Chain A
Amino acid sequence: MSSNTPTSSSGGAGSADSSAARRNSKRPKYSRFTQQELPACKPILTPRWVISAFMLVSIVFIPIGVASLFASRDVVEIVDRYETECVPTRFRDDKVQYIQSAEDKSCNRTITVPKRMKRPIYVYYQLDNFYQNHRRYVKSRSDKQLRSNESADDVSTCDPEDRTPGQNPIVPCGLIAWSLFNDTYSFSRNNQSLAVNKKGISWKSDREHKFGKDVFPKNFQNGTLRGGASLNENVSLSEQEDLIVWMRTAALPTFRKLYGKIEVDLEANDVIDVALNNYYNTYSFDGKKKLVLSTTSWLGGKNDFMGIAYLTVGGLCFFLAMAFTIVYLIKPRYFSNYKDLTYLTVYDLNE
């Protein structure tokens, strides 16, 4: 790279002109801008630069990749898929009917801890084929209503779950709130119950700014069709953290949401009994339900993606750097003069 030093052959003379002589002259004034001589660096991707760039990327990326992969490996994650197992065998042919019936929905699952899990252990539920990002779904909420009690009537965007048949506004309105997930989990180890802390599972900004302390559920789930969980009408929305978590809609049709935290360590080979109530209807659209117990690292949950991506890119760059170096050593390339101009050899106008 080199920096351009503008010449003064034309410019110097121009700027040195006395202004008197120039009064009638249409001679353009010299400036680096108009003469297009602004100092510039001229990056040229010569082989050397290409190879160095690749080397640099691989040197930076491979350690990051290794670090994140280790972080991800440290995380212990238990996934239990239960949507089929929790349907009694006799109902397995028509799960939708089962879930909509008044049958007992309780279900017991057993999970073995493969490795020691340090607290806090996060409990997630994971849904599949659930389009929380569908346009009709995403917009069916009223942020104003959620935020303050005065806007309780602001349900214009909540169609079709805006008002009760008696035209009373539903709080919280909209499809999102209406379809609130309502499976419940309780855990016990050796018949000793493990408390699930449901506080602090939502982002603080949501809790404090988006859901009002003075907003209480009203007319919720009073319709003919129940979409999901009901809410305690005596608890303000800002404390209904399940709702807050649910209403931060997911980006993809497969998503995890935080259910709660277990604030004790779990030892390897511990057997955890999960008593769950399988209320939520994912059967009509063939959605899966999973229960996830996971620890976290500095990087978050178990996710090899980042580490693998970094390692792959770093490795690829290293490989490319090597390959280019070999080519460069075997067949060095430099231009010296006119004869290299391609037009001399492959000039074809009809191209």
Chain B
Amino acid sequence: MFRRILATKNSRQNGVVSTTIVRIRSEDIRFNGLVLSSDRASSAKKMSGWERLRPSTARLGRDSYSSMTERIPSSRTVRLGRVQPQAPGHRTIYCNDRDANLPVKFKGNSISTTKYSFFTFLPKGLFEQFRRVANLYFLTISILSTTPISPVSPITNVLPLSLVLIVSLVKEAFEDWKRFQNDMAINNNPVEVLHDQKWETIPWKKLQVGDVVRIKQDGFFPADLLFLASTNPDGVCYIETANLDGETNLKIRKALEKTWDYLTPEKASEFKGEVQCEQPNNSLYTFAGNLIIQKQTLPLTPNQVLLRGCSLRNTEYIVGAVLFSGHETKVMMNAMNVPSKRSTLERKLDKLILTLFGTLFVMCLIGAIGSGVFIDRKYFYLGLFEDVENQFNPDKPFVVAILTMFTLITLYSTIIPISLYVSIEMIKFIQSTQFINKDLHMYHVETNTPALARTSNLNEELGQVEYIFSDKTGTLTRNLMEFFKCSIGGEVYGTGVTEIERGVAQRRGIKIDEGQESTNVVHEKGFNFDDARLMRGAWRNEPNPDLCKEFFRCLAICHTVLPEGDESAERVTYQAASPDEAALVTAAKNFGFFFYRRTPTTIYVRESHLEKMGKVQDVSYEILNVLEFNSTRKRQSVVCRYPDGRLVLYCKGADTVIYERLAVGQDDIKKVSREHLEQFGSSGLRTLCLAYRDLSSDMYESWNEKFIQAKSSLRDREKKLDEVLIKMRMKWLKTDCGFMQVAELIEAELILIGCTAIEDKLQEGVPACIETLSRAGIKIWMLTGDKMETAINIAYACNLINNDMKQFIINSETDAIREVESRGDQVEIARFIKEEVKKELKKCLEEAQHFLHTVAAPKLALVIDGKCLMYALDPSLRVMLLNLSLNCCSVVCCRVSPLQKAQVTSMVKKGAKKITLSIGDGANDVSMIQAAHVGIGISGQEGMQAVMASDFAIAQFRFLTDLLLVHGRWSYLRLCKVITYFFYKNLTFTLTQFWFTFQTGFSGQRFYDDWFQSLYNVIFTALPVIMVGLFDKDVSASLSKKYPEIYREGIRNVFFKWRVVAIWAFFSVYQSLIFYFFVSDSSSNAQNSSGKMFGLWDVSTMAFTCVVVTVNLRLLLMCNSITRWHYISVGGSILAWFIFIFIYSGIMTPYDRQENVFFVIYVLMSTFYFYLTLALVPIVALLGDFIYQGVQRWFFPYDYQIVQEIHMHEPEGRTRTELLEIGNQLTPDEARSYAIAQLPRELSKHTGFAFDSPGYESFFAAQLGVFAPQKAWDVARRASMKSRPKIGQRK
């Protein structure tokens, strides 16, 4: 359909058709939100692989007609970047003719992603720096300090500012240099271009629009190319788009037939085409243009365009012409400016800075008023004669106050910690590059992937996460189905232990030994089953060998799998619509029923061990009918005829539907199997029931007649396909029903064989990780596009939901809704579902609130599907949804679109003001990742798009434990300390100055020497705090994980609350008072036996010495762990002060300055007073903090402090090995049976049915050659499996 829109838009042939299609388009978009039915509507005639991937890419349609569709709940795939308005008109490219293209001046193919060039670096870099308020503030202060109203010399403010700027600029330059090198590497890649009938190698940057190039296998396309010819027959080539959208499955591109021949250089040089196409834009999946060749105009589609960044696969080489180059390529126009996120802590820091500004203002105001009041001629020694300047003019007290205000602002500017931002940046940078990126605990050996912090802004945000939104497939699960267990005739087979069982066992302290897997266990993709009773024909000795036989045959026959490759058991590969089916067929193969060939009417099975061990015979079963899977039927049946004429219907499906259709009797097996199903289900396995029915030929014939009839009515629909699609949708639903009714007739009176249990292989360590995270107070939501059953199943498997929880399920698949839907009135459907959702929400919420007030309330869990969610996210219901979901420990949203994922995330982020984290692996998670406070991509697997959009990339879900509980918590703790300490040290320093102001007649006289003040922040107190930011560690990494509860302190933000800030502020005031008054009051007498007196600068140097010493020691007092770097930096800082003052006061410099501090330190040190004060003041100043800390730890300890004390006497190393040895030793069998016995059973209703078959919705369509894409993201993921239309196998 999309192609048609383009075609009509381009050729403008038929206005009528155009409008019709456009109307459908808009409808289609709207229905896309109604997840279920819309997908069918958007189906169009057979599409090639590429288009199928992106069913809703018609941006053209949307843009032009957006007025018609005001609110578009789009379920579309996520685009990179933002839509840019297209430049009007089109461009004309003359292929293979550089001269003809010359006048147009297309952009070259070299790219530059650097922010600065050599010349712009300084101005632009400085501009960037001064966009920060703090820097701008200090610039203003610096300018102020050059005026006479300043009490300090400019150096006081200029020096710290320039140091900060230099550090920032060097960092910027370094980063830009790396970008530049990267660009150069790309620009200098070689490419073969056609020149004089030869392929000539030039670097990418020399490439020009219109050039004809040759790309070899596995090469990257240097620009957006028009695909002309390929070495493959039919002019196709395969490309991988991993760089664009992260999908590694191959896509097919097909050249126009007219250009197939231009393959050799000789031939290609004859190619003289003219391309008229759209202006460069950033839409990856559209392209409109015409190729004019030999006076023929051929329409071009995205199918002929090869985008820069993709690579060529499975094709020897291709020839193409450059369409867009350099920055005009689609991928470059998409260059994603990942929205920069700021952490919550930093936003709170802004508030703190604002508070400091407020404090500054108040202090200045007090001083200013004081100065206005003070100034008086009576102080004759101030020389306030008639023509005194305004600043001190007693006749104008108001002007004096105003000017003094400015004076004081410059004087007190140190209250704003200028080096705070740059220090934090440095700390975070090192934290992310050195600690997170290099953590061995987060290195995944299998994929060779270390963790990657893509931004260093959010380290501390990781320590405060309260909600995690996780994708399922690829994140929690490996999307790998394995046949794991089965139950045949009431007997359980399979000895494996699932992750969840292991988790349960571990929690109960049993050790499950897994070292002793029997050596002959068969383990291949899809099959992880070990039980000697069934393998190698041993099943013949089991109590019920006949049933076993039926079981295996059912597995081998009842499916829609295609074998591929060799017809030998070792080398066959199965192409299945769902990995479940492949797993089942693989299982049959391993049991000795090797399905090796399929024709439209026959299935060939190589059966071994049937009569005798080791004997092999090929059997062909005639397939008479296939009744395929579908979400309402929840079962699949095959009617087959044995070679001996026996007619059997094999059926597999959900336990509920199968049990309904079982023949009477069989109570025993039903009961036992039910128990097994529940057992499997709560172990997180996906179950299917198998049943069969022997048919008599009479009965079959009469049924088949009806079946054919129903089928032919379906065929009618195909003819109507080109008619208005809306009508068709309704008809579709009806025929569906008729069809299903016919199927019902034969799927009855079944005989239960048993059930299978497939493990949807979880990523390693997921349940344990989730358990740990939830103990840490983190709530985990699973957002998945999968079906509800699958989602619930995985939720069980990863411990999100268990049987002790009260589950609220809000589902759109109810009979009532289905009935309204079948009537087809969209407005009515919407209204009805909304009502239903509202009703459900209200009911659940009431119940939840009821639980809230009861003691021993069960934990709550909410399961909601996408369609209901769409209505629940409506503003009117959103509050209710939020209230309900915040009361739940875990929430599972299934069948949600990428957009809804983002909506849910931002609902919690904005509505509940909680800190959220999203984790996902695929393109469908991008919006969610970007919406959350912290986005995490799973790296090391196929696809990069989630990673590209993320803030952190880790290889495994379980690394979240390390990332959050260790790195996040530490970062948060450290940053809090750094910030509060900065706040403290600057406030303390400034306050001493403030107290002095009171005793100088509010004149704004500085207390300290200029250099003291300017170096205070950048030298004397700078380094130790960075050490804290890097090395402080309250409890070790292993204890952080052992006691996840201490993470909750971060969620509650206990270390950076206003209360904490107030305590620091209180002690700042206290200390500054001590510094100022202790030093000044004790200095008013002679200080040694020589009777000489101190002056101002002696006192201030004394006070400054006390400040430096105390502030540095205070840092040690707040450290949880003191490394030698702490000692070095703290000692070094204090030493630096003394060295500085020895030199500074010891020399006289020739240039103009007041020699206030000349020799003061030597004078001071010649007195006992100096030493007595130096011993007294810091201790008195720290006494307050010390008492506070002692009392706080003694009587109101934080959790981390308790953990510290519990493990106070252990060296850190041992705790880790202890962790490895949790639990006592049981024999494996004991452990297993114990683990299973411990699983809750009686309460269980969950039997684990799940069958993941993305194609099931489309069975009928597929039969008729109609492809109904299901969910863009689902389809995209599995597109490779469906590269061949299924129709082939049917006919």
Binding site for B on A (CB under 8 A): 2-7, 9-11, 14, 24-31, 33-47, 50, 53, 57, 61, 64, 68, 120, 122, 124, 130-141, 143-144, 157, 160-161, 175, 178-179, 201-203, 205-206, 209-210, 225, 227-228, 245, 248-258, 261, 281, 284-285, 294, 296-303, 305-306, 309-310, 313, 316-317, 320, 324, 333-338, 340-343, 347, 349, 351
Contacts and interface: CB of A to CB of B under 8 A. Distances in A.
Contact of A44 (B437, B1080, B1091, B1208): B1208
Given A28-B438, A38-B1031, A175-B381, A296 B1089 contact: yes
A338 B1044 CA distance: 11
B1232 to A, nearest CB: 28
A181 to B, nearest CB: 10
B604 interface: no
B13 to A, nearest CB: 55
Interface string B880-905: 00000000000000000000000000
Contact of B1159 (A143, A205, A225, A324): A205
Given A4-B1212, A26-B450, A27-B445, A38 B1123 contact: yes
A335 B1217 contact: no
B1193 A45 contact: yes
Given A41-B1121, A135-B1006, A343-B777, 19 more contacts: A2-B1211, A4-B1121, A5-B1212, A30-B440, A33-B434, A44-B1205, A46-B1193, A131-B382, A133-B1005, A140-B383, A175-B382, A203-B1163, A261-B1091, A296-B1088, A298-B1089, A300-B1085, A301-B1086, A337-B1206, A342-B1197
A255 B1093 contact: yes
A13 B168 CA distance: 38
Q: Which of B437, B1085, B1095, B1119 has the most CB of A within 10 A?
A: B1085
Nearest to A328: B1194
A160 B388 contact: yes
B392 A136 contact: yes
A47 B1212 CA distance: 22
Nearest to A65: B1176
Interface in B1077-1098: 1078, 1080-1096, 1098
Nearest to B1095: A248
Nearest to B1194: A47
B694 interface: no
B1000 interface: yes
B380 A343 contact: no
A254 B238 CA distance: 91
B1153 to A, nearest CB: 8
A5 B1211 contact: yes
B1206 A138 contact: no
Interface string B1171-1182: 011011001100
A44 B1204 contact: yes
Contacts of A210: 1155, 1158
Given A36-B1033, A296-B1091, A341 B1199 contact: yes
B1122 A41 contact: yes
Q: Which of A10, A249, A252 has the most CB of B within 10 A?
A: A252
Interface residues of B, number: 115
Given A5-B1212, A38-B1031, A296-B1089, A252 B439 contact: no
B1162 interface: yes
A144 B1148 CA distance: 11
Interface string B388-402: 100010000000000
B607 to A, nearest CB: 46
A351 B1086 contact: no
B63 interface: no
Q: Which of B450, B1036, B1186, B1190 has the most CB of A within 10 A?
A: B1190
A144 B1152 contact: yes
A258 B1001 contact: no
Q: Which of B388, B440, B1006, B1203 has the most CB of A within 10 A?
A: B440
Given A251-B1094, A333-B1194, A351 B1052 contact: yes
Nearest to A296: B1089
A253 B1003 CA distance: 13
A312 B107 CA distance: 80
B1167 interface: yes
B347 to A, nearest CB: 19
A154 B1123 CA distance: 53
Contacts of B450: 26-28
Contacts of A139: 1154
A14 B1003 contact: no
Contacts of B434: 33-34
A249 B1154 CA distance: 13
A285 B1121 CA distance: 56
B1208 A46 contact: yes
A2 B1089 CA distance: 47
Contact of A203 (B1004, B1092, B1096, B1169): B1092
A201 to B, nearest CB: 7
B1176 A40 contact: no
A285 B378 contact: yes
A28 B1086 contact: no
B383 A258 contact: no
A160 B384 CA distance: 8
B1094 A7 contact: no
Contact of B999 (A38, A40, A225, A253): A253
B1074 to A, nearest CB: 10
Give 9 closest A-B pairs by Cβ, nearest first: A205-B1159, A28-B438, A248-B1095, A301-B1085, A135-B1003, A179-B381, A40-B1121, A122-B1091, A301-B1086
Nearest to B1160: A205
A256 B1084 CA distance: 7
B1187 interface: yes
A251 B1051 CA distance: 49
Contacts of B1006: 135
B1213 A5 contact: yes
A189 B1167 CA distance: 32
Contact of A134 (B380, B382, B1205): B382
Contacts of B1180: 309, 313
A119 to B, nearest CB: 11
B379 A134 contact: yes
A3 B449 CA distance: 32
15 contacts: A4-B1121, A37-B1212, A45-B1193, A68-B1172, A131-B1001, A133-B999, A134-B382, A134-B1001, A138-B1096, A179-B381, A249-B1096, A284-B378, A296-B1089, A309-B1082, A335-B1202
Nearest to B1051: A349
B438 A300 contact: no
Interface string B1113-1135: 00000011111110000000000
B1210 interface: yes
B1093 A248 contact: yes
B1170 to A, nearest CB: 11
B630 to A, nearest CB: 44
A309 B996 CA distance: 21
B1212 A34 contact: no
Contacts of A347: 1048
B436 to A, nearest CB: 10
A338 B1199 CA distance: 10
Nearest to B380: A284
A255 B1033 contact: no
B1059 to A, nearest CB: 10
B987 interface: no
A336 B1078 CA distance: 43
A14 B999 contact: no
A300 B1000 contact: no
Given A9-B1216, A134-B1001, A313-B1176, A300 B1052 contact: no
A40 B1031 contact: yes
B1033 A349 contact: no
Given A36-B1033, A343-B1048, A347-B1048, A251 B1099 contact: yes
B440 A349 contact: no
A58 to B, nearest CB: 11
Contact of B1004 (A135, A306, A324, A349): A135
